[in-house]
Amino acid sequence: MRCAIYTRKSADEATEVQFSTLEAQRELCESYIASQAGEGWLALTARYDDGGYSGGNLNRPALQQLLADVAAHRIDVVVVYKIDRLSRSLRDFVNLVALFESHGVTFVAVTQSFNTTTSMGRLTLNVLLSFAQFEREITGERLRDWFAGARARGMWLSGPAPYGYHVEQRRLVVNEAQAKVVRYIFGAYPDIGSARLLANEVNARGHLNKFGRPFTKRVIVTILQNRLYRGDLVHRGQVLPGQHQAVVSDAAWRRAQMAIAESARRKAALRRPPVNGMLKGLLFDATGRRLIHAFVHRKGRAYRYYVPRITRYGPATTPSDRFRAVDVEAAVVELLNRITGVQHERHDEFAATGQVRRMVSRIDMSADSMRITLSTGAVLETAHSGKLDSQPKSRGVPPWLDEARALLKGGHSKISAARQLGVIPSRFYRAMEKYMRTPT
């Protein structure tokens, strides 16, 4: 009988307790196997030792190797010191015993004799495992309570200290050099309004994050949302007053949170559902290409166009290929209103769309007019003003750029220069990033 000895020790178990170490467990198991030599029992040389692993789950390397060898029929008997060495979870233990039985493997706990072939033996096994699981859960609750109490007293128990602090005797102490960067981030974000631009600005000043790498948008957002910088501690979703010194004032914290909320509202407005294209599928240009409905969002407003498919998805994009959707749709609705005598306003989208779909089968577009084929076969023509100018307007450089450069060279900060010029700070930062490649 090939006997595999499995041993386990949790990281929090005291090493001085009798038979708590892996070697002590193995010694006792080997002695038991030797006493069964007359039955043909022989201890395998392979070791299955899990040191520092909890019995609450099966994520243990030695146990996984043991199960693989059981599945490969290399083991006849699994020997442990006590049943809770194999598992402290009742469900996991029952599943393991069922797995052993399915492969013809016997399970033995040398200090707890029971026979799983009888109903009384199975009851005894379940009672023992229930107490083992109860003990594990009580230990977990005790540790959680201890962590909560320590956190309530302002202690920093584990993990690296956040940027702006270092740990001394389990207490957070302000790192003044890093704290200045944190204060700058909280002060500049409401004016800049962009975590990405702010990260670029912080990097341009030569600062690095806690791990010696450049700041990113995610790091900036994490700092801005961390209540620890205003003197609070958060444990399991509960905000507790911390014992450490705050880095930023309550006013700076609230101002930054209001700016974050405003930025989120602006982004949500840009992500709203697209406007329905009333004439989608009905329009064709002078060359017979079908026009599709396209739109873009700018500052919370949707700009809609009808463009050829090859223009929308191909490289040859020119303004002359596009028609303003609002003007074209208004011309079609006005013509149909004159024909039917029923006045549908353009903003009454559902009624107007239903009327167009019932009456129109095709619309051929030209530069300033369109040829409408009705469902009855009749053909009508009408003018429209939806054609875009073939010469797009050039935005050019900001007129205040030269003055901004002079202010920056004179020692003004970017925020100070933007305020002096009366320019929105976020627009000023984007212009500086685009037209001034070197950091200022």
Same domain, residue pair 141 and 226: no
pLDDT tens string 302-342: 788 888 876 544 444 455 578 888 888 888 888 888 887 77
* Pairwise pLDDT comparison (397 vs 74), residue with the higher score: 74
Task: Quote the tokens at residue 277.
Answer: 């294209």
Give the DSSP letter string of 61-76. Answer: HHHHHHHHHHHTT--S
DSSP strand E in 15-76: where? 42-43, 48-51
Rounded Cα distance between 236 and 404, Å, is 48
Q: What is the pLDDT averaged over residues 250-261?
A: 90
| In-domain check, residue 153 | no
According to DSSP, the residues that pair with 241 across neighbouring strands are 232
Q: What is the pLDDT of residue 165?
A: 86
Residue 70 pLDDT class (50, 70, 90 cuts): very high
The per-residue pLDDT for 186 is 92
Whether residue 336 is contained in a domain is answered as: yes
Q: Say how many domains are in the chain.
A: 4
Are 235 and 333 in the same domain?
no
pLDDT tens for each residue of 377-392 = 889 888 877 776 654 5
CB atoms under 10 Å from CB of 208, counted, come to: 14
Query: Residue 18's pLDDT is what?
Result: 46
Helix (H, G, I), strand (E, B) or coil at 424: coil
pLDDT at 16: 44
In a domain, 391, yes or no: no
- When pLDDT is cut at 50, 70 and 90, the band that residue 357 belongs to is confident
Tell the residue number behind the tokens 């405003």, with chain if given: 262
| Average pLDDT, rounded, for the chain | 80
Task: Report yes or no on 116 lying in a domain.
Answer: yes
Residue 192 lies in a domain: yes
Higher pLDDT, 112 or 428: 428
Label residue 169 left, alpha or beta by phi (over 0 means left) and psi (-120 to 50 means alpha).
Answer: left
Question: pLDDT > 90: what percent of the chain?
Answer: 19
Question: What's the pLDDT tens digit per position in 400-418?
Answer: 888 888 888 888 888 888 8
Q: Please answer whether residues 358 and 375 qualify as being in contact, where contact means their C-beta atoms are separated by less than 8 angstroms.
A: yes
Domain extent for 413: 401-435
Best-predicted range by mean pLDDT among 176-180, 295-299, 397-401? 176-180
Banded model confidence at residue 13, pLDDT cuts 50, 70, 90? low
Q: Which of 218, 239, 270 is the last residue of a domain?
A: 270
Q: Answer whether residue 371 shows pLDDT above 60.
A: yes
Task: Verify that 137 and 23 share a domain, yes or no.
Answer: yes
Contact 197, 429 (CB under 8 A): yes
Looking at residue 192, its amino acid is I
Residues 16 and 131 in one domain: yes
- In this model, does residue 15 exceed pLDDT 50? no
Question: Between 154 and 128, whose confidence is greater?
Answer: 128
- DSSP bridge pairs for 308: 291
At residue 349, does pLDDT exceed 60? yes
Do 307 and 329 belong together in one domain? yes
Give kind and range of the element (H or E) at residue 76.
none
- 119-152 vs 90-102: helix crossing angle, rounded to 10: 140
The answer to whether residues 26 and 108 belong to one domain is yes
CATH assignment at residue 207:
3.90.1750.20
Residues 49 and 12 reside in one and the same domain? yes
* CA distance linking residue 328 with residue 278, whole number of Å: 10
Same domain, 299 and 377: yes
Residue finishing a domain among 116, 148, 180: 148
Query: How far is residue 192 from each of residues 188, 189, 195, 419, measured CA to CA in Å?
Result: 6, 5, 8, 12
Query: Which of 205, 237, 270 lies at the terminal end of a domain, its last residue?
Result: 270
> pTM here?
0.45
Using the predicted structure, report yes or no on whether residue 201 has a pLDDT greater than 60.
yes
Question: Please, what's the b/e burial string for 81-112 (b: 16 or more CB within 10 A of its CB; e: otherwise)?
Answer: bbbbbbbbbbebbeebbeebeeeebebbbbee
Do 362 and 413 have their domain in common?
A: no
- The phi-psi region of residue 137 (left if phi > 0; otherwise alpha if psi is between -120 and 50; otherwise beta) is alpha
Contact 185, 175 (CB under 8 A): no
The dihedral over CA atoms of 373, 378, 382, 388, expressed in degrees to the nearest 10, equals 10
Sign of CA dihedral 391, 395, 396, 399: positive
Within this chain, do residues 187 and 250 fall inside the same structural domain, yes or no?
yes
Coil, helix or strand at residue 290: strand
pLDDT digits 0-9 by tens, 38-69: 889 999 999 999 988 888 888 999 999 999 99
Task: Answer whether residue 337 is part of any domain.
Answer: yes
Reported as a single tens digit per residue, the pLDDT across 265-300 is 777 766 665 567 888 889 998 888 889 888 877 766
Rounded CA separation 27/39 (Å): 19
CB atoms within 10 A of CB 415: 16
Is the same domain home to 20 and 142?
yes
Which of 7-16, 189-198, 428-437 ranks highest by mean pLDDT? 189-198
CA terminus-to-terminus distance, the chain: 78
- Tell me, yes or no, whether 375 lies in a domain: yes
* 30 in the same domain as 138: yes
What CATH number does residue 86 fall under?
3.40.50.1390
In DSSP notation, 25-42 reads HHHHHHHHHHHTGGGT-E
